[in-house]
Amino acid sequence: MPIIIIEDAPLKEAISRAWNLHRRQLADVIVAEIGVVVVNRVLGALATLTALGLGIVLYLTSPALLPVAIIVATAIISFAMIFTSYLRTAYYTCLYLWAAASEAAQQPVPAPKPLAAAVA
């Protein structure tokens, strides 16, 4: 997606460009991708457990609070989904900008701080 937006490229060209950029830094991409997936899954699990726990507590307090419990649980899970989606998009944008800078410089370029932290 960042390639489509930043370079104003059609989908087919963007996929080809992403494939070429990823292939050049495959080890870093794999390590960072695993890190992002793990963080997203942990955040999703924590949000789900929190939402379920809070929902159960509200329901056990008073069954009349079931609609409130459902709304609160939905809000917590929705917020977690939005945040993990943002995190993934930021990761891919950072990765693309780093790969494009490395390609333009014809030499290794240090990774941006957020990406370097994910790879480290």
* pLDDT value of position 13: 81
pLDDT in tens, 26-78: 777 777 778 888 889 999 999 999 999 998 898 898 889 889 888 989 999 99
Q: Which residues have C-beta within 8 Å of that of residue 94, sequence separation ≥ 6?
A: 112, 114, 115
pLDDT: which is higher, 6 or 35: 35
Cβ atoms within 10 A of the Cβ of 15, count? 13
Does the pLDDT at position 116 exceed 80? Answer: no
